[in-house]
Structures are given as C-alpha cells and as structure tokens.
Amino acid sequence: MRTSIKRESAGDLLVTEAVAVTDKQLDGATQVEIFRRMALLKANDERTRKEITAGRLAAPYYSYRGQEVIAAAMAVNLSDEDYLCTIYRGIHDMLAKGLPLKQLWAEMAGRVTGTCKGKGGPMHLTYPKKGVMVTTGIVGSSLPIANGLAWASQLSKDGRVTVACFGDGASNIGAFHEALNLAAVWKLPVIFLCQNNQYGEHTRYAKTTAVQQIADRAAGYGMQGARVDGNDPVQMYHAARRAVERARAGEGPTLIEAVTFRFFGHVFGDADRYMDPAQKQAAIAADPYPAYRAKLISSAVATEVQLSQIEAEFQAEIDQAVAFALQSAYPGLEELTSDVYGASVA
Amino acid sequence: MNKAPTKERQTTVLEALNQALHDAFADDPKVVALGEDIADPEEGGVVGVTKGLSTKFGEARVRTTPISEQAIIGAAIGVSLAGYKPVAEIMLMNFTTVAMDMIINHAAKLRYMSGGQTNVPIVIRTMTGAGFSTGGQHSDYLEAWFAHTAGMKVVAASTPADAYGLLRSAIDDPDPVLLIESMPSYWTSGAPAAPGYRVPIGKASIASPGSDLTIVSYSRMLNECTAALQPLEEAGVSAELIDLRTISPWDEETVANSVNKTGRCLIVHEAVIPFGVGAEIAAVLSARFHGKLKAPIARLGAPFTPVPFSKPLENAYLVNAQRIRDAAVALVKRH
C-alpha cells in the first residue's frame, strides 16, 4: 500500500510532517510487540466473523480487518493510563489498548459478564481500567469528547495523552471542525487519529472529499499534521510516537492521517458492490499482516516458530473468551432500568 | 446543608447564580466552567452570570470557548469522565440544538451504555424566554426534549434562593443536569440563600398554600402565577401554587398530595402546549385521580407556533397573570 499513497497535491504544507524513516530506527522488541498485537487483532476479527456467520453471535459488526497496523503501532506508544475515544469500527483500537478478550466477547454477546453488562454492545464498549473511555456509534463524536479528557490531563498535569480514533468520513462532519479548532486553541494533549480506509459507509473518498489529504487540513487549524502509510508498522509507529511526545511535552495536538483499507466493507455482510473490485483486490493482495510477518522473519527480527507461537496462544485465548461469553448469563431484567442515573448527593 | 434562606436582605437570581458558582469553585477545585464569552476579559458572560470567576480562579478553570456548541459539550463530557465537575454554558437554549448529539447521544447515555462504569456529572446552564423581541431562534423553552431523554435531569428556578440551591445541587449531582435560566427573571429579587444551601433535585416547593385548585408551574411562569394569586383571591379562589423546580424527575408526590386535596389542577408553562411537560403531568395525574377530580386537568402554555417577533404577537404568545387568573377561575367556578 505504500506505493499507492499519492502526494501529488501541494505536497508538504508547512505543518505537514514528512514521515520518512528506515526500518533500522525501530528496535526488534518493539517490532515483535507490534506484531503480537496485530496477531491478536487479526485472529479476533476472523473469529468474530466466523461466529456471526455461524449464527452464534448476533450483533452489527464493523470489521477492522486490514487496519490492524494502525491500532497496534499506536497502542505500543501508550500506557494503560492514556485515554482512548473510538468508534463503532474500533475494536482493534481497544484490543490493542488492552481491552480483555473475555469481557469483550461477553459484551459482544450481550451477556452480564461483558464490559458493560451487555448494555452497550459492540458499538459502545467501555473499559476505563485500560483507558477505553468512550466508544461511539455516531460518526465524528469521538473527537469533541477526547478534547475534554485531554483538558483534564492539562488541568491535572497527569501527563496522559488522549487518542481520538475516527475514519475518513468523520473528517467531513461538523464535530471534526469544532474539535480540531478547540484542541489547537487550547493546545490540548490529544491525538486525532484518522484511519483513512478510503470509504465513508458506501461512498469512496474522492466523491465526498475534495482535499487530497486529510492531514492537510491540520494546517487550517494551526495544528501539526502527518500523513502516513497506515499499513506500514514502522512509519505508523514513528508518527504515533512523535504525536505522543508532542502531547506529553505540552506542545499540543496532532492530526495523523493513516491511510489503509477495510477488507470487509462497511458492516459485515454488506455486499461490497459499491467498491471498485480492482482496488479491493489490490488492497487484499497487499494485506499488511502477512507482509509484516514475512518481513520480520526475513530480516531475522523473529523466527517462524516464535511468530507461530504468538498466533497459537491468541487462538487459545480467543477460544476461551468465546466459550466464556456464550456460557455466561444474560443480564437480569433488573438491569433494564439500572444505570440510568446514579444516586443523587443532595 | 439544607438551611432555609436567610431573610435580612434581597438579592437577584443573577447574583444568586453568580454566588453559587463562586462558592462551588471555592469549595471544590474540580469544578470548572466553559462557554462562549464566560471569562472576565469577555465580560463574564452576556448577562454576567460568570462574572469574576476567571479573575478569581484563573482561566485554566474558567474558559471562554470558540462559538462551538458541540465542542463545548464534548469537552464538558470528556473532562467529567476524568473526574472534573464542569459547568458548561450554552448561551441560549436554542443553541443546544447544535449540541444535541453530544447531549442526547452521549452525556445522557454513557452511564447506561457503559453499564455504570462511567458517568457524566456535567451541568449545562442555558438561558431563554420570550418577551425581548428576539424572535424565533433566541427565546424557545425546549425543556420537554430534554425531560424526554432518559439519563438527563432538568431543573429551573424561579427565586434567587432556589437558583443558588439548584445550581449547587446540579454541580453535586453525578449525572448531566440542564439548568434553565429565564432571561426576564434574572433580575427577580428575593431572599438570598445561606452559603452552601442546596435544593434537592426532584423536590418541588409549595410556593403558596391553597384549597380550591392546584397550579403547577416552574421558571418564569411561576412568577406569572404568583402575580395571579391576589386577583384569584379577590375572585374568591384559593389556589395552591407549586413550584416544580425540577422538571425531570418531577416531584409527583408533592403535586399528587396537593391535587388529592384540591381536586383540580392547572399546569402552566411558557413552552408550547402539545407534547409538553404539562401533558406528562396531566397524564400521570389523570391516571392517578380518575373519577376523583372535580374538573378536567387544564394546561396553559404557548400556542403551537414559533416565537413571533412583532410585539403584539409576542405578547399574545406568552401566558400572563391575567390568563392564569381567568383559567383558574373558570376551572373552579364551572366545575
């Protein structure tokens, strides 16, 4: 996918960083850690689609297959204390951040053992223990809330960073504009991570967006922007790292545009007829997962045995999580009306 | 801290709200505020509710924002998820429409959708009210929309002491509270509240006792109802006036106890009548007192139109003391 990124517009605006790094700038342990998280994400997506297809899981599912690099390379730069606001296509972001598999699967299945006692579902997964603060089903709404979390960090000087994930489609909604402007004016420690998978719902990027690069919009807010190949773990790692460092240093927000592709359409089960078949085939042929796996082996960062072992461990963990979820009870009907309000103080 | 209001001097609703904010900021360093023009360099809010706050507590905690209602409520939600107690100002109630996704889809629902792992203790202060020739987009009462949303609380004061006590309770509250400020009522005077006074959310007050009918109202219309009490007495009607104070969750018991005594009920609000707060109250009371009421429950409110500009039309749009008196007399004398 690296070659498919065109930079034929104005090129690098003043605040658009060129991310040009070599593989040597990333140590082997971090490279393997990124792979480890990618392996978890990929296996989890495959299993989710399998369970839905088999009829054992009934939930709207927005597959992130193809976008694993972005979440993995972002998350290795974050701690549990850092905040994440993500969207309905965001399970990769959350898993990479540390959302536990058992509670994830139980929530997907609407069980009381889920992160949200089954009351949120896949579009509203929440797990503050790992910084997963908000998951929204509304396009663009992760951004304004992320600003508030970042404001809290700025006030309390706790050094946390907040990451707001969203897609290319969200860059055309009003909340994007309001949030980026406020974050820049207030110099908030927030990272706007746009996962440009080149389709908003069923409509291709160029039909809805005149600007060639979403990252270029950063200049309009007086903010740092970076456009990277979101399928290249090393590029993505360094863009994420630079943004995290900037935020922690009090130097303000960053807009990262990570270019990628989603392999399974908008919602799993849609017929994909709106997609250019050649574009889709090319993207799948350039699947970053096997490419990165092969590269780790060929560059002697890891052995085939090591990587296979990582993959096998996750398969076993996912097996356990699925079994745990499907054997768990549904919430009791008392949960229908609980958690609407807390106990009033006055 | 449920101390009764002290009675030595008079204050206004505007001063009471300002005092409540100053006291809340002094009591809890986690209280912050944000909104358009709210810091002192921008004159402390268009009416001056937030005056003095940024000078005293700093612009890190008291932030003037861009004209960006989604960003304002989004930032309030986010900062509250991290343990702060934000008071967000949406300058006019009509401007809440710009932030409805943040308020309805997020602030109101995050507690439920997270299974109780997170909560959104924010206060949204907003002002409204017809009568200032501000036309169709600057004067609506939209409380029914918010009251209709599970997870939201809606409060509105009519006296300075209640304004102080409700704002303090709203800041204490673990959930999103919309506090409606009536533009024409900012300069309503009354006894000030004792420092730290709280008005429990969900608790109405009996503004004036009576025996022939119950009048339920809130916000600016409560003051119109008060103005109708003397003419009603002169007409031989003893009205019990209830100030709801909290619109949602409304104090069903206080209202029901009164209606049980009087057998008649008139509900008065500034908002349009169809699908309004009055409809909900009337439905609950009808179910509860079916066959025991001496008269059908009556509602007074605005006609089903946008707020007009032209003065005679705007005057006709608004309920006033005369119309309240006439409706109450009709309810008692005809039934």
pLDDT at site B249: 98
The per-residue pLDDT for range A153-203, each reduced to its tens digit, is 999 999 999 999 999 999 999 999 999 999 999 999 999 999 999 999 999
| pLDDT confidence tier of residue A10, bands split at 50, 70 and 90 | very low
pLDDT of residue A23: 47
Confidence at residue B3, expressed as pLDDT on a 0 to 100 scale? 55
The reply to whether residue B78 touches residue A145, judged by beta carbons under 8 angstroms, is yes
Burial class of B35 by CB neighbour count within 10 A (0 to 12, 13 to 18, 19+): buried
Min distance B61 CA to chain A CA atoms (Å): 8
Q: For chain B, which ranges sit under pLDDT 50? A: 1
* Whether the Cβ atoms of residue A17 and residue A226 lie closer than 8 Å to each other: yes
| Mean pLDDT in residue range A262-278 | 90
Query: Judged by CB atoms within 8 Å, which residues 172-231 of A form the interface with B?
Result: 174-175, 178-179, 181-182, 185-186
Cα–Cα distances (Å) from A39 to A35, A72, A266, A303, A308, in that order, read: 6, 9, 22, 15, 10
Q: What is the pLDDT of residues A92-132, one digit of tens each?
A: 999 999 999 999 999 999 999 999 999 999 999 999 999 99
**Residue A35, pLDDT score:** 98
Q: Which of A83, A145, A182 sits opposite B65 (nearest CB)?
A: A182
Active site residue B138: yes
User: Three-class SS of residue A190?
Assistant: strand
Q: Please state, in angstroms and rounded to a whole number, the distance separating the CA atoms of residues B73 and B89.
A: 9
Tokens standing for residue A103: 């509670």
Stronger pLDDT, A14 or A334, i.e. the higher one: A334
Across the interface, whether the CB atoms of A136 and B106 are under 8 A apart is answered: yes
Q: What is the pLDDT of residue B334?
A: 83
At A271, the pLDDT band (50, 70, 90 cuts) reads confident
- Dihedral angle sign, alpha carbons of residues B1, B5, B11, B12: positive
**How do strand A224-229 and strand B11-12 relate by DSSP bridges?**
unpaired
Nearest CA of chain B to the CA of A83: how many Å?
10
Q: What is the pLDDT of residue B335?
A: 72
Q: Is the pLDDT of residue A4 over 70?
A: no
Query: pLDDT tens-digit profile of A219-231?
Result: 999 999 999 999 9
Model confidence at A239: pLDDT above 60:
yes
Closest CA in chain B for residue A151: B79
What pLDDT is stored for residue B244 in this prediction?
Answer: 98
Question: Would the CB atoms of B113 and A119 count as touching at under 8 Å?
Answer: yes
Q: Which amino acid is at A243?
A: A
- The complex's ipTM works out to 0.95
DSSP lists the bridge partners of residue B265 as B214
Which among B25, B302, B265 has a CA at the least distance from the CA of B139? Answer: B302
What distances in angstroms separate CA B334 from CA A50, A224, B148, B283, B293, one per listed residue?
71, 72, 33, 22, 13
- Per-residue pLDDT at B300: 98
Predicted local confidence at residue A344, as pLDDT? 72
Q: Which residue has the higher pLDDT, A110 or A344?
A: A110
Instruction: Tell me if B271 sits within 8 A of B142, measured CB to CB.
Output: yes
Read off the pLDDT of residues B52-87 as tens digits, 9 standing for 90 and up: 999 999 999 999 999 999 999 999 999 999 999 999
